[in-house]
Structure 1
């Protein structure tokens, strides 16, 4: 397998002096093509911080994130933004939807950034909303949708650009068990058929059971790595 993403001594410290808090401490990991990795750990262990750094949404205090052999810190802001737009899909725990836009308009944001032709863009949005069971809600705005529906819009948006890397922060946290299982089936299908490297943060044992590999974070450090069930 080919490592699509890896980190080298990834560290994030918030604050300075006596108020400094190390949220992530010298994390080394890699994600391969077509691999679903589940990230577990108690609240406050650094999971969201790690996903944010991997997605290029924040800069590490030390260490680096390397995507397809290129370190993000070696790129200009514009080049790093282009890598994010083309190669990374991100499912936010807090949904991250734009309130004034409809479900369809939220999903199409990554495609507009990539200047995807309108016909292709519209077709992709319709397909994704259908796949997450929201085809009939395409014109509704986030405040008109339930929390679970908003999360499904977020999942659809994360898949819109056909990412090579999918980062998902508690993607089933707002979903009932049946819908959560359906969304994970969709994610697993994308991982297997399109060779996406996926890292999913979750407390859900049903999601963990689907993992090719498990990682555990405690106090900002990776404390466990291994194959699911075999270890």
Structure 2
């Protein structure tokens, strides 16, 4: 794991609603994500996991605090800057796969590269490489509906890596999979993290997923749960000391 900090959040607060109905999704949450590190984010439903992922991915804005991805502070970024960030620096893996059903497996992977303007020869070569990486080389022309759940999630992982992101965000990526496919999925994500040096944060309810983590962050009621002795720290010291 590198010491390079890819993303960091400082004292994030996010609430929804007003008055008696107000819900505090996050309360003073600070985290850091490093290159080549797989962080597992745990907590019960309503703990704030998805809110934190949405803030880290620039899909939502905090009421207070800061989110940095590289040199860009997302709260102060323009919509154009956020679009560029999502195209070039971030990858997403969704629980519901979020594949386009009318496109083949290879076309689903190529789409982010087309939006980025990658030359056709380069994107086709990269698509072949990614299909092979996730074990779908023989399924390039099949549409998502012709693939199993595990195969669709592997395709989602391949698509998330299409533009070589620095930060990969996965929200309950094994939630639609059986135990065997879920284990295979987390093993694949862990191997890709360490091989490619990507910073990855994965939210999960599944306690078995933590076995693959370099570090564990526990959230409850919108707050970080202090790690117990011997556990991974939820927020390592800043690189600048």
TM over 0.5: yes
Is the CA contact 1:97–1:154 (under 8 Å) kept in the aligned structure 2? yes
1:166 corresponds in structure 2 to 168
For residues 21 and 182 of structure 1, what CA distance do their matches in structure 2 show? Answer: 36
Is the CA contact 1:213–1:226 (under 8 Å) kept in the aligned structure 2? no
Deviation at 1:105, TM superposition (A): 1.7
Indicate the SS of the match to 1:26: strand
Is the CA contact 2:215–2:232 (under 8 Å) kept in the aligned structure 1? no
2:85 corresponds in structure 1 to 83
Is the CA contact 1:214–1:224 (under 8 Å) kept in the aligned structure 2? no
1:65 corresponds in structure 2 to 67
2:200 corresponds in structure 1 to 198
Deviation at 1:226, TM superposition (A): 7.2
1:45 corresponds in structure 2 to 47
Is the CA contact 1:213–1:228 (under 8 Å) kept in the aligned structure 2? no
For residues 210 and 147 of structure 1, what CA distance do their matches in structure 2 show? Answer: 21
1:35 corresponds in structure 2 to 37
Is the CA contact 1:164–1:196 (under 8 Å) kept in the aligned structure 2? yes
Return closer, same or farther for 1:228/1:103 CA change in 2, 3 Å cut-off: farther
Return closer, same or farther for 1:91/1:101 CA change in 2, 3 Å cut-off: same
For residues 197 and 96 of structure 1, what CA distance do their matches in structure 2 show? Answer: 21
1:138 corresponds in structure 2 to 140
Indicate the SS of the match to 1:5: strand
Is the CA contact 1:155–1:171 (under 8 Å) kept in the aligned structure 2? no
Cα RMSD (Å): 2.2
Return closer, same or farther for 1:226/1:154 CA change in 2, 3 Å cut-off: farther
For residues 133 and 7 of structure 1, what CA distance do their matches in structure 2 show? Answer: 34
Is the CA contact 2:96–2:176 (under 8 Å) kept in the aligned structure 1? no
Tell which deviates more after alignment, 132-141 or 196-205.
132-141
- The two structures have a TM-score, normalised by structure 2, of 0.86
In structure 1, runs of 5+ residues without a counterpart are none
For residues 229 and 196 of structure 2, what CA distance do their matches in structure 1 show? Answer: 21
Residues 135-156 of structure 1: CA distance to partner in whole angstroms, max 9, x if unpaired?
2322233333333322222111
2:12 corresponds in structure 1 to 10
Is the CA contact 2:216–2:232 (under 8 Å) kept in the aligned structure 1? no
In structure 2, runs of 5+ residues without a counterpart are 234-241
Indicate the SS of the match to 1:108: helix
- The two structures have a TM-score, normalised by structure 1, of 0.90
Deviation at 1:100, TM superposition (A): 2.4
